[in-house]
Amino acid sequence: MNADPSKFEGCLLGLAIGDALGMPFEGWRPAWIVSKLGHKVDDFYPCKDRGLRPGQWTDDTKMALQLARSIIRRGGRVDPADIANAYLEWFDSGDLRGIGGATAESILRLKNGASWKESGKAGEYAAGNGTAMRAAPIGLLNCNNLDKLKDDSSADAVITHNNNEAVAGSRAVNFFVARGVCQHGLKEATPALIDDCVKFIGACKVADQLKLAKKLLVEEVAASAALHTLGTGGYVVETVASAVFCFLKTPGDFGTTVISAVMGGYDTDTTAAVAGAISGAWNGTWGIPRKWIERVEDSAEFRSVAGKLFKYIQS
Asked if the structure places residue 105 within a domain, the reply is yes
Residue 252 falls inside a structural domain? yes
pLDDT single digits (tens) 122-140: 998 999 999 999 999 999 9
> What is the tens place of the pLDDT at every residue in 81-120?
999 999 999 999 999 999 999 999 999 999 999 999 999 9
Q: What dihedral angle (degrees, nearest 10) is formed by the CA atoms of 161, 164, 169, 171?
A: 110
Average of pLDDT values for 230-236? 98
Round to whole Å and give the CA distance between 12 and 5.
11
In a domain, 315, yes or no: no
pLDDT digits (tens, 9 = 90+) for 252-309: 999 999 999 999 999 999 999 999 999 999 999 999 999 999 999 999 999 999 999 9
In whole angstroms, give the CA distance from residue 276 to residue 19: 8
> In this predicted structure, what is the pLDDT of residue 285?
97
Per residue in 159-183, pLDDT (tens digit) is 999 999 999 999 999 999 999 999 9
In a domain, 42, yes or no: yes
pLDDT at 2: 78
Number of domains making up the chain: 1
pLDDT score recorded for residue 1: 58
pLDDT at 315: 65
Size of the chain, expressed as the number of residues it contains: 315
- Domain with 77, as residue range(s), is 5-310
Average confidence (pLDDT) over 52-61: 98
In tens, the pLDDT along 197-232 reads 999 999 999 999 999 999 999 999 999 999 999 999
Q: Domain holding 177: CATH number?
A: 1.10.4080.10
Nearest to 181 by CA among 63, 88, 306: 306
* pLDDT at residue 91 in the model: 98
DSSP 8-state symbol, 7: H
